[in-house]
Structure 1
Amino acid sequence: MKVVFRVDASFQIGTGHVMRCLTLAEELKDRGHEVIFISRKLKGHLCDLINQRGYQVYCLPSQNKTINNCDTKHAQWLETSWEIDAQQTIQIIGEYIKCVDWLIIDHYALDHKWESQLKNYSKRIMVIDDLADRKHLCDILLDQNYYLNFEYRYKYLVPSNCKLLLGPKYALLRDEFIDLRKNLNNKKNDEIKNILVFFGGSDPTNETLKALYALNKLDYNKINIDVVVGVSNPHKDEIKDYCSRFPYINFHCGIDYMAKLMRQADLAICAGGTTTWERYCMGLPAILISVAYNQIEICQALDSLGIDYYLGKSEEVDEQDIINALYKFQTKDISLQNSSKKALQIVDGLGKYRVVNELLKY
């Protein structure tokens, strides 16, 4: 098959959409299918990374302006009109790609209007979404997240014949997580020895430094702290400088060994993005701070599971809130061992195989 991904990354969008598409692309490529990306060159784009991973990527030009001409909540992420984006995508398919078996769209700014323009240029359309806030015209819809009402969220938003792949059983995880899970040891006690701090690829509000300030107000000299930032993080130099002052804080940037860090960590302080399911595959509970609108509902649902402890939106959370949450884990008011076991039961790491198998049924 020939599979085309339409996905963007930017300082505003973050990197999670591209990263999960790359995970799915890897599995498709391993099974002998051709994979191509179409992505816009926004500030903080990952076109070069996609190309480095061995994929042909057609880069849409940066428009340097925002045209909010549709009713999607994230319309401004596109930085152009949906009509122009659709025309540019159609042009690339018509001139360079030709026949497309699956067009896979992972973009909060695109909806059924865009998809209706592309339906004649691909045999099938798949949408990856998390929000359930707009209509789609697609054959398959994937939402790998856990919500309290996840079975009903898309009831009136997709065609009646659309196949819904819903919940963490379809979580798109890289091979490193699948491989390490095979030899994963359950946490034997509730003692905190290693903490992982990670707020996504961009972290525009610098929650990373907020968490580090909170940790250093406690007596954490005997605890190892791993700090991970993405290459598109605008604060990475400031964070690196801060970490260098303390022998127990380890700075990591643009890494490919996140599974290893998650496996050795006892607790994470992080956002509620796509790395949630990576954590659960590794049995790692967290103190959560939502850094984007689309993370709020997910974080609330995760808190209800008794695995993660949700503090609230980034602008509402201060260092003392983080300290208070750490005390709850430190005093065993919340059991790390029980939280870890619950997480492992939710994500088995085999989601990408299930998704590709569904694609191959058509």
Structure 2
Amino acid sequence: MVNKTTVAFRVDASLQIGSGHVMRCLTLAEALRDGGAKCHFICREHPGHLLDLICSKGFNIHRLSTVDSAVSSGRPALQRVEPAHAHWLGVAQSKDAEVCRKILEDVKPDWLVVDHYALDTQWETALQAFALRLLVIDDLADRKHICDLLLDQNLGHTELDYAALVPNGCRLMVGPQYALLRPEFARLRKQSLERRASPSLQHILVTMGGIDQANATGLTLQALKMCPLPVSCRISVVMGLNAPNLAEVADAATNMPWPTEVLVNVTDMGERMASSDIVIGAAGGTSWERCCLGVPTIMVVLADNQKSGAEALLSSGCVELIEKVRDIPVQLPAAIRALANESTLSALSENARRICDGLGVQQVLKQMSDMNG
């Protein structure tokens, strides 16, 4: 990336949206900053936002108020087909664009990066004159964009899925090889893969995302009590500070038959994954972290928009899959029994490692730099 480039990110986190969109944008922003770019974040103050985290990373933040949010239970007056996740925005796209326009007029970004399921061509058209280039980060292929560059880091989608959704000339980066992973995962890949040479079930890591509104973590701990784990096993649980069920999970951990720790807002997730024998975790962005490290995974689908990616990982032999949170009590013990077989653990690890090498950020930066001319 050329020095002195200015990049603006429009992304939100909330109890409903989760934290993954902000986390992957932070990964890209930190890589951009390392190359000399100046980054700004534009985020709405939804309950469960991550504005304090973004500020702690040293980035410029522009806060959008929720005081005038009035679209969560209905559609804007403009008669058009809204994105399926329009309610995540909290206001009409036109209102959001109006406020963002004033920010962008001042920031004057070279790149505007948009990572939001509630935004489409309406928002992008209103703001395209206020940035030289537009990068859209998407996972759904369910709405049109007018971007210069589009990133979909998921398994299962191809460039054909976006053929009718982006303009001619838009560059597409589709697949886990472009996944926005922090540098630690590529650095730890060799160490983690070497650990898989002697598979076992001594250390289980449970991570259901920063919010886990459905309390999949609590259900997982209850189900693990019914599992035939070794006496020497230990369990680590990672949660976000905004997780609504954090206190309940912490209490449940004290009653587990095996040593169980609950960790909040960890900064060394890569090391914790690399040192685990299996992960019981949510579908979504952390899937590619686990693949990079070759960690055998029991994956739980927490939202409908995670299904296609989870099924693609299942078809690739990378995971044991639990498709609904409510099925955890019945299906998790069976999945644990399947992973007691060393050959099954080895196969899951081998298939996962082929999916992603952890170098996606560098590929995205190269595309952005090439387009800067």
TM-score by length of 2: 0.93
Letter of the 2:75 counterpart:
N
Please show how residues 98-177 of structure 1 align to structure 2 within 5 Å: 99-147=108-156, 149-177=157-185
> Which of these residues, 247, 255, 260, is aligned with residue 237 of structure 1?
247
CA distance in 2 between counterparts of 1:186 and 1:140 reads 37
SS in 2 for 1:153: helix
Provide the alpha-carbon RMSD of the alignment.
1.4
Does structure 1 conserve the Cα–Cα contact (< 8 Å) formed by 2:317 and 2:352?
A: no
The answer as to 2:25 corresponding to 1:21 is yes
**Letter aligned with residue 135 of structure 2:** M
Task: Give the aligned partner of residue 356 of structure 1.
Answer: 365
- Partners of 1:194 and 1:173 lie apart in 2 by 23
For 1:211, the equivalent position in structure 2 comes to 220
Aligned identity (percent) is 39
Distance of aligned partners of 1:181 and 1:331 in 2 relative to their CA distance in 1, 3 Å threshold: closer
Question: How far is the alpha carbon of 1:64 from its aligned partner?
Answer: 4.6
**1:189-268 to 2 correspondence within 5 Å?**
189-220=198-229, 221-246=231-256, 248-268=259-279
Cα distance in structure 2, aligned partners of 1:233 and 1:323 = 25
Instruction: Tell me the residue number matched to 2:291.
Output: 280
Instruction: Report the alpha carbon displacement of residue 118 of structure 1 after superposing the two structures with TM.
Output: 0.6
1:6 deviates by 0.2
177-186 vs 152-161, which moves further: 177-186
The yes-or-no answer on 1:71 pairing with 2:82 is yes
Match 1:55 to one of 37, 46, 59: 59
Residue 323 of structure 2 is matched in structure 1 by 312
Aligned length: 357
Q: CA deviation at 1:196?
A: 1.0
Deviation at 1:327, TM superposition (A): 1.1
Q: Which runs of 5+ in 1 are unaligned?
A: none
1:207 corresponds to which letter in structure 2? A
Q: Judge conservation of contact 1:213–1:319 (CA < 8 Å) in 2.
A: yes
- Would the alpha carbon gap of residues 178 and 190 (structure 1) be closer, same or farther in structure 2, given more than 3 Å must change? closer
- The separation in 1 between residues aligned to 2:334 and 2:354, in whole angstroms, is 28
Task: Name the counterpart of 1:327.
Answer: 337
Change (3 A) 1:92 1:61: same
**CA distance 1:325–1:219, shift in 2 (3 Å):** closer
Q: 2:191 aligns with which of 157, 161, 183?
A: 183
Query: Among 42, 67, 72, which residue is 1:38 paired with?
Result: 42
Distance 2:249 2:226 in 1: 17
Which segments of 5 or more consecutive residues in structure 2 lack a partner in the other structure? none
Alpha-carbon distance in structure 1 between the residues aligned to 2:200 and 2:291: 19
The Cα shift of 1:222 comes to: 2.2
1:4 aligns with 2:11: no
Q: Distance in 1 between matches of 2:179 and 2:127?
A: 26
Aligned AA (1:141): L
Aligned-pair distance for 1:210? 0.6
Letter in 2 for 1:49: L
Give me the whole-angstrom Cα distance separating, in 2, the residues matched to 1:152 and 1:168: 16
- Residue type at the aligned position of 1:84: K
Structure-2 separation of matches of 1:28 and 1:182: 25
Aligned to 1:343, the other structure's residue is in SS state helix
SS at match of 1:238: helix
Tell me if the contact between 2:227 and 2:337 (Cα under 8 Å) persists in the aligned partners: no
SS of aligned partner of 1:25:
helix
Compute the displacement of 1:331 (Å).
3.9
Task: Report what 1:80 is aligned to.
Answer: 91
Q: Distance in 1 between matches of 2:311 and 2:352?
A: 15
For residue 232 of structure 1, report the CA deviation from its aligned partner. 1.4
- Contact between 1:68 and 1:80, CA under 8 Å: does it hold in 2? no
> Take 1:31 and 1:130, find their aligned partners in 2: how far apart are those partners?
26
Q: Retained in 2: the 8 A contact 1:290–1:313? A: yes
In structure 2, what is the Cα distance between the partners aligned to 1:57 and 1:116? 23
Distance in structure 1 (CA, Å) of the matches to 2:300 and 2:177 = 24
